[in-house]
Amino acid sequence: MEYKRVLTIQDISCLGQCSMTVALPIISACGIETAVLPSAVLSTHTAGFTGFTVRDLAGDMPGIREHWVKEGIRFDAVYTGYLGSSEQVDYVLDIARDCARDEFALIVDPAMADHGKLYPAFDMAYVEAMKKLCGAADYLLPNITEACFLCGMEYKAEYDEAYILTLVKALAEMGVKNVILTGVSYSPGKTGIAVYRNAALEYYEHEFLPNSCHGTGDIYASAFTGALIRGKDAFESAKLAADYTLECIRYTADDPSHWYGAKFEPVLGRLIEAVNR
């Protein structure tokens, strides 16, 4: 089997168990070489901490791409998360164009909003830029808030399957090939993942754990990427990533002092077993 190589582009939150510090170990644990391109360096993530430092690394991106092109460096997939600024979108698309192996997937987690609101660092100009990146995605992994921002639909905390179908169809019309919509709940105590591909909607429902932790979207997208690049299909990968994320949340549930992230490390063994099954 060819040794697979994924590039992940997202920030390094030095502390916070999110973005790069979860993507690198999780994708590596799936048995995949993981290259990184940090979009920004922050002292912590922005969800709950105040006074954090931020350095946008957009200026380094064109030079890094040029070097990789000169060296003939190629990837089986590029997986993007939290970016440092709107201008990074074009740099990311240039890298995906110039450094792709013949069989290639662009996996995009818009990582810009939740619970009806944008993250503190972002504005509508960032949303506009993300529309371009998301439209090019082979696999897009938004939550409902991000999906609404991307297609200009009203955010609803309560909804039915018709609303979800309208949302995923609107994303497909933007050019997305496979939509993996997270946090879709139709009944109390349950949540799940809606997968829209080839004009068909599938749904994986699982238990809802009330202790929501920060960074679980990144854990989810990283496990999805690992499973997909190990050859599982979009629905299987969506399901495997949901089961792993749930394990991480469950493992963190009895420790309220660990509010800033999920303890994904002790349950990596279960992920490794699942991807190798």
The set of residues, in sequence order, having a beta carbon less than 8 Å from that of 277 and lying 6+ positions away, is none
- SS3 track for 182-229: ECCCCCCCEEEEEEEECCEEEEEEEECCCCCCCCHHHHHHHHHHHHHH
Among 7, 8, 19, 271, binds ligand PXL (CB under 6 A): 19
- Total binding residues for ligand PXL by CB under 6 A? 14
Residue 18 binding ligand PXL, by CB under 6 A: yes
| Distance from chain centroid for Cα 246 | 16
Query: How far is residue 244's CA from residue 268's CA, in Å, rounded to a whole number?
Result: 8
For ligand PXL, the closer of residues 99 and 150 by Cβ is: 150
The set of residues, in sequence order, having a beta carbon less than 8 Å from that of 127 and lying 6+ positions away, is 112, 118, 149, 150
Tokens of 224: 């999805």
Among 89, 106, 111, 238, binds ligand PXL (CB under 6 A): 111
For ligand PXL, the closer of residues 218 and 247 by Cβ is: 218
Query: How far is residue 73's CA from residue 10's CA, in Å, rounded to a whole number?
Result: 19
Shortest CB 262 distance to ligand PXL, Å: 10
Q: Look at residue 152 and give its three-state secondary structure.
A: coil
Task: Return the residues of window 212-241 that contact ligand PXL according to CB under 6 A.
Answer: 215, 217-218
Tokens of 6: 């994924």
Contact code string over 28-67 relative to ligand PXL, x by CB under 6 A: --------------x--xxx--------------------
Among 68, 75, 79, 82, binds ligand PXL (CB under 6 A): 82
Q: Scanning the structure block, which residue is given the tokens 């297609």? A: 151
Residue 145 binding ligand PXL, by CB under 6 A: no
For ligand PXL, the closer of residues 9 and 111 by Cβ is: 111
**Contact criterion met (CB below 8 Å) for 169 and 153:** no
Q: Look at residue 275 and give its three-state secondary structure.
A: helix
Residue 80 binding ligand PXL, by CB under 6 A: no
For ligand PXL, the closer of residues 8 and 13 by Cβ is: 13
Residue 146 binding ligand PXL, by CB under 6 A: no
Residue 13 binding ligand PXL, by CB under 6 A: yes
Q: What is the contact surface with ligand PXL in residues (CB under 6 A)?
A: 11, 13, 18-19, 42, 45-47, 82, 111, 119, 215, 217-218
